[in-house]
Each structure stands twice: as structure tokens, then as C-alpha cells.
Amino acid sequence: MTPARPRLNAGWLLVLPLLALVVALFLGPIVNILWLSVTDPEPGLGNYAALFTSDSLGKILWTTLRICVICTVISVILGYSIAYAMVHAAESDRKRMLSLLLVSFWISVLVRTFSWLMLLGRNGLVNNGLEAIGVISQPIAFMRNELGVLIGMVHYMVPYAVLPILASMQAMDGRVVSASRSLGATGAQTFWRVYLPLTRPGVVAAALLVFIINLGFYVVPAVLGGGKVLMVAEYISVQVLITLRWGTAAMLAALLLFGVLALLFLMSRFMKLSTVFGGART
Amino acid sequence: MKPSTTARLNTTLAWVLLVFLVAPALVAIPVSLTSKTFLSFPTDELSLQHYRKLFGSAEWMSSFWQSTVIAVASTLLATATGTLCAIGLWRVSSKAGEVMRAVLLLPLVIPPIIAAMAFYRLFVPLGLIDSYPGLILAHTVLAAPLVLITVSASLAGFDVRLEQASRGLGASGWTTMRRVILPGIKPGVMAGAVFAFISSWDEIVVTLFLSKFSVYTLPRRMWNGIRENTDPTVAAAAVVLMVVTLVAFLIWALAARARAKGLKHG
């Protein structure tokens, strides 16, 4: 055996280039932004105090949280249904299902948002179709409101919800279901009392993952919200690029950052993060 | 056990949902073939005029070129640094190494809007806004964690005794890396490179902050088109963007299959 010390050093040497890039270009500037949130325009907690005094800030945070919660609940329920079907499908079907899931995962968010624009507009396919078959007489407003943002976000988030749930279902010992059935429980009882509780870590991890990505979502709310549904990420970009109020933007970024890190920590208690992030793309 | 009615119903629902996940994106295809000059579905005839316009436009073509240059350069950088780092952490394999791994995965989990602010804040005084180096470096930082993850997954299945044997037979650390470790994890490195390419090729949020006039990537130009919401050329561009992504997906799927085979035989 080679002595441990030189091997250790060689290993760290290989880590160095990426570490240098991440620290210099990413973590350093983020620390700078955290600093800005308590120094710009003047030192103190003024930017944070504005949270309690400014109506617009409160409204934006409330909109963001509300949309994130609704989107998370819907995505996790739909994701659970897909994951359940995948686990119980035959091998060949499961592969086909996984392919569909991954293809949707891979298509650019920009392309998908553009497509929703075409589908949901006043003269979009959905409205025209519904009018043609006589279901509605007036076009439904699907866009420039929370409904449109929710449709686009749920559509984007479902694959993210499926993967952690799928992992927890696959890790489960299938014999407990047989045991429950042979002890006389009905299918429904088995599902609610045995299956669902056993997959809870996956559900919690999925919910947290979806919620985290939703919190900082920019593209879908900006396009499908059409300026009417302002969420945190879009508001930050306006502060930085247009009104140049770095202090407010930095304060919101700090809130977002600590929120995300706290949720990640919580998530790591329910599931090994590598299962989620490693599994997310394989 | 025979599946219950509820389970069968759920399977049907799942298929509908899965089709619904993919189908909407395909809407860009008919829209790109419309014979009209505004964004619409084709009604009577199909036309390729918007593709002709896309490929004949100096602006769109320069965006293609710029996106390709940035994606290729950041893929190379991210794959090199990410792979080295994964090997390094694999060798270290200690508690400190795992903490380091978590730190290096942060660019993947911190919302892109915060990354955009950070890069913007750093690049303005350095004069890197609206430049190739700025976008390449930013995309490298965002893409490297993806390489780190896939290569680490490959290394987890790599037999550590192969490395020990190579060192024991007198090969240097560098030779062992080049002749033993790298060939063993090649599928993982390839998959990581594909991820890195796609993540740069599709990246929009950070690019919105860093690109102004002279460097204008494909997603950046599409973003403008989507905001204006009139010119069907955007639909043609969306189709091209999607095709490139799907080709990369196929490459990844083949690499994954090769990796699975390698694990079985190895």
C-alpha cells in the first residue's frame, strides 16, 4: 500500500482548478451580493426593513410563495401517479415511459414556454379548439395571469417530481404490499396505510426539490405571466437591469439564497441528495 | 397479483400525462411551417419560408455560431475541470471531500437568477460583459457540476484495485490516470460533456444579464422574438434548438447504454 499522505495531496490538487473557478467566479461574487444587501444604498438593515413597510415587496413575496406552493402540490400528485405507474409497469413499458419523461426533461424551457404561448393565447390552439367544438363562446384568458404561469410551471416541474418518488418506490421492499394483502387489507387500505407512508421520504424530497426550483423560476413567470404576475426572480432582474436598485435586489437574492439552502438542508434529512441530483439526469 | 381497476386507471392517466409532457413542445413544428407572416398555425398550405429566412439571416446565423462557440468552449473547460475534480474527490474519499463536493455542486442548486447577479456584478468592472470569455466562464461554472456528478457516478462503479494494480506495477500517477482511470470512466465523461453542452446551449437566465449586443446567443435572440411575439422565424429557431437538444439526448442515451454494458462486463 502506498502511504496515505501523498495520495491525499494528489487528490486535492485535482480538485483545485474547479474549486478556483467556483470560488473566484461564483461564491466570491455571491458573498459580495450578500454584503451589498446590508450596505447599499447605506449601511444597515434598511433593505430588509422594507419587507415590512413596502406593499409591492410583500405582494411579490406572497405571489411567489402562493404560486410555488400550488405548483408543488399539483406537480407532486401528478409525479406520484407517473412514478407509481412506472414501478408497476412491465420492463419494456417502463423504458418507454422513462424515455418520454427524459425527453421532456431535456427540451429547452424556452422552447416549451414558446409552445405554451402558441397554445394558450387568445387565438391559441386551445381556445380555438374549444370554440370550434362549442364548449366556450369567449376565449378563456389562459395567459398574463396566474393560471398560465401555473400551467407552464407544473409542466416543467413534473419530471423533477417523478425522479425522487421513483427512487423511493424502487428502494421499497415489494413484499410488504403482499404481506399487507395476505393479512386481509384491501388494495385501498394497503395503499394508504402501507405504501404511501413508506414512500413518504421520496414525496417530501420531491416536494422540496420542486419548491426550491420554483422559488427562483424566471423564464415561465416572465413570459406566461406577461408582466401581470411578478415573482421574485423577475423582480430581481428588473431591479438590477432597469431601476439599478442593487440593495433591494441583493436583499431579495439573500432571502432566496438562504431559503433555498435551508430547504436543501431539510431535504438532505429525508433523502441522500446525491440520489436526487445524481438520479435527476440518469 | 392482478392489478386493480384503480391501478390500471392510474397507468392510463400516467401515459396521458407523459404524452402531455412532451406533446406541447411539438407545437413549434406546425407554427414554423405556417405560410403566413405572423405567428399562427398553418391553415391551408405549408411553407418553408421561415426556415429560409432563419438560415438566410445574418443575425440568426451569427447567433448560431456564437452559441456553438460558447457551448463547445465551456463544454471543454467544464469537462476537463469537472473530470479532474471528480477523480480528485474519489481519491481523497474523506468527510472533507464530501463537504467539498457539496460546495462544488452549489452552482447547480442556487437559483440561476442569483448566479446571473453574481456574474454580472463581477464582470462589469472586469469588462467581461458582452464578451466571449465572460459567457464561456459563466457557462463553465454552471456546467461543471453536471460533469462532476456523472463522472463521480462512473467512478463509483470503477474497481479501485485496477488503480492499485497499475501503481503496484510501477506506473506513475499520471500514466495510471491516462491509461487506466480515464478509459474506465470514459462513458461517464462523455455523458457529462453532453450535459455540459446542452446546459450551455439552452442557457438563458445568466445570458440575459451577460449578453448585450456583440455576443448574442441563440436563446438570447429567441427570447427577444418570444417577447415581441410576432415573427414566425422564432418558431423555426425553436425547432432547430429542439433538434440539437434531441440529437444530444440520443448521444447521451447511447453513452448510457454503453456504460450499462461496461458495468455488466466489467
> A19-64: per-residue pLDDT in tens?
999 999 999 999 999 999 999 888 888 889 888 888 889 999 999 9
Interface test with A, best of B110, B185, B199, B202 (most A CBs within 10 A): B110
Domain positions in chain B: 48-265
Minimal-distance CA residue of chain A relative to B26: A115
Minimal-distance CA residue of chain B relative to A254: B114
> B62-76: per-residue pLDDT in tens?
999 999 999 999 999
Residue B153 near residue B243, CB atoms below 8 Å: no
* Summary mean pLDDT of chain B: 89
Residue A215: name the closest of A52, A61, A80, A37 by CA.
A61
Interface test with A, best of B17, B181, B206 (most A CBs within 10 A): B17
Please indicate if any CB of chain A lies within 8 Å of the CB of B187: no
CATH fourth-level superfamily of B48-265: MetI-like (1.10.3720.10)
Residue A131 near residue A206, CB atoms below 8 Å: no
Distance from CA of A6 to the nearest CA of B (A): 10
Please indicate if any CB of chain A lies within 8 Å of the CB of B61: no
Please indicate if any CB of chain B lies within 8 Å of the CB of A174: no
CB-based contact B88 A11, cutoff 8 Å: yes
Of the listed ranges A23-32, A129-138, A159-168, B19-28, the least confidently predicted one is A129-138
pLDDT of residue B258: 73
Which three-class secondary structure state does DSSP give residue B34? strand
- Which of A103, A117, A178 has the CB atom closest to B249's CB atom? A103
Query: Distance (Å, rounded) from C-alpha A223 to C-alpha B170?
Result: 60
CB-based contact A27 B106, cutoff 8 Å: yes
Give the pLDDT mean for B217-243: 90
- Which of B88, B119, B249 has the CB atom closest to A14's CB atom? B88
The verdict on ipTM greater than 0.85 is yes
Domains and CATH numbers, chain A: 1-36 (no CATH), 50-279 (1.10.3720.10)
Please indicate if any CB of chain B lies within 8 Å of the CB of A15: yes
- Which of A85, A103, A274 has the CB atom closest to B22's CB atom? A103
Which grid coordinates belong to A164?
425522487
* Per-residue exposure over A63-92, b if at least 16 CB sit within 10 Å of its own CB, e if not: bbbebbebbbebbbebbbbbbbbbbbbeee
Number of H helices, E strands in chain B: 15, 0
